[in-house]
Structure 1
């Protein structure tokens, strides 16, 4: 049985813990200043609480660093002495490169993971970097398999992580931004806020399901709704005049460039 420990059980850490808890081949440990959340996860998921990060690192095979990036270096300073080569450090901290983490981890190999927030409902997208040459085949097999039950897993080179961050890591915010705009449009046109909210939520979940399950490309699915001289094509042409598509691409590029900047700090 593999022992995997979480340093930090905030929103993302606890979401991953809950997803892994369904497996009977994993023993989950955790530590956090929020002792109430530890107690909750102990009751809900069978989590084994640890008094501190060093005790957790000593007890576990895989140590998941799930703290805010600005706190990571100090946490690593406390656990590096017990990170032997047979343990694996798994980081979900945004912006911290494998090279940086390796410098802090001592002898332990490093796996870097970039999640997105739909992981909180079991529908996440995870980029997993297995670039570290010190990783064993067992380590490289276990982590992708463990996270597979939490959503879509993609093995990616670290050089692709800034693009992943810009499109997928930040992506939920773009989706919620557009959802919010449609909800406000509905209210402006006379729908109640509850009606507009419920219907827009259903619109997005249904459209995403259609895009995923259909054999048609999203461009073809868009064309199916765009009848000649109809309401939809008129709205889409307005978006084209406003360069909406180009502005979205530019916005994602801004996110990409910011991700690169953060990685250099």
Structure 2
């Protein structure tokens, strides 16, 4: 692959560029759309071989693989009237925009692959779900931490819904620090401790030999502190509420024209 284009240079677009250019070795030329002008200009200044095009058609004309990362509610306006040659490969990062919808908008016979890269692609340690499997696209994301192809959009939407839990996790950590400060702990000390506590949890996740339920069991003692919080706070009713929220998000992702999720 000699060239990659990105239309819609937000946080994920930035992370992909950084992952590609900071990884060492040869990397493809990158062409950025003027959407997200400040980010695009900054990336072009930082990295050799990263260019900002005058418009979205310029990105398409110069790129073998084109990544579309505009906001879901803006995609008809941003992509209308563009010409996408059939020898291009289109990668759709827009949550809730099905392949058939995007193909109608672009009026192209080019391969279209959906993907869910996360910000950790900048460090080349994020597994990216793709649909359907495509050798060029999967190879691209393997370079950025790994590819996880799924066979159809029903499965893809389940993974897309899972990404909607990220900020809830951060809010959970913020609630822990808030609780501690409410009991007289300095906010910076509480923040530092909670970050360190869960960074260690994150490192344990790299142990792929133990399933998640086994990790949970290995980190608690019968009738100990962890078991007490898990069973009194994260009880069956709490778990059912979480699953209900995920079911609602999944239903929206499956519906054409459903309200756009606020983000991943």
TM-score by length of 1: 0.85
Say what the alpha-carbon RMSD is for the aligned residues.
2.4
Q: Residue 176 of structure 1 corresponds to which residue in structure 2?
A: 170
Q: Residue 28 of structure 2 corresponds to which residue in structure 1?
A: 26
Does the CA-based 8 Å contact 2:9-2:35 persist in structure 1?
A: no
Separation (CA, whole Å) in 1 of partners of 2:147 and 2:225: 38
**CA-to-aligned-CA distance 1:176-209 (integer Å, 9 cap, x gap):** 1221222222223332211111111122221122
Equivalent runs, 1:32-181 vs 2, <5 Å: 32-46=34-48, 47-80=50-83, 83-105=84-106, 106-119=108-121, 122-130=124-132, 140-156=134-150, 157-167=152-162, 169-181=163-175
Separation (CA, whole Å) in 1 of partners of 2:175 and 2:249: 20
CA gap 1:195/1:120 in 2 versus in 1, 3 angstroms? farther
Pairs aligned (count): 254
Does the CA-based 8 Å contact 1:97-1:263 persist in structure 2?
A: no
Q: Which stretch shows the higher mean deviation, 121-130 or 204-213?
A: 121-130
Q: Which stretch shows the higher mean deviation, 12-21 or 214-223?
A: 214-223
Q: Residue 232 of structure 2 corresponds to which residue in structure 1?
A: 238
Q: Residue 136 of structure 1 corresponds to which residue in structure 2?
A: none
Give the match's secondary structure for 1:67: coil
Does the CA-based 8 Å contact 1:90-1:111 persist in structure 2?
A: yes
Bigger share in helix: 1
Instruction: Mark the runs of 5 or more structure 1 residues left unpaired by the alignment.
Output: 132-139
TM-score by length of 2: 0.85
Does the CA-based 8 Å contact 2:114-2:132 persist in structure 1?
A: yes
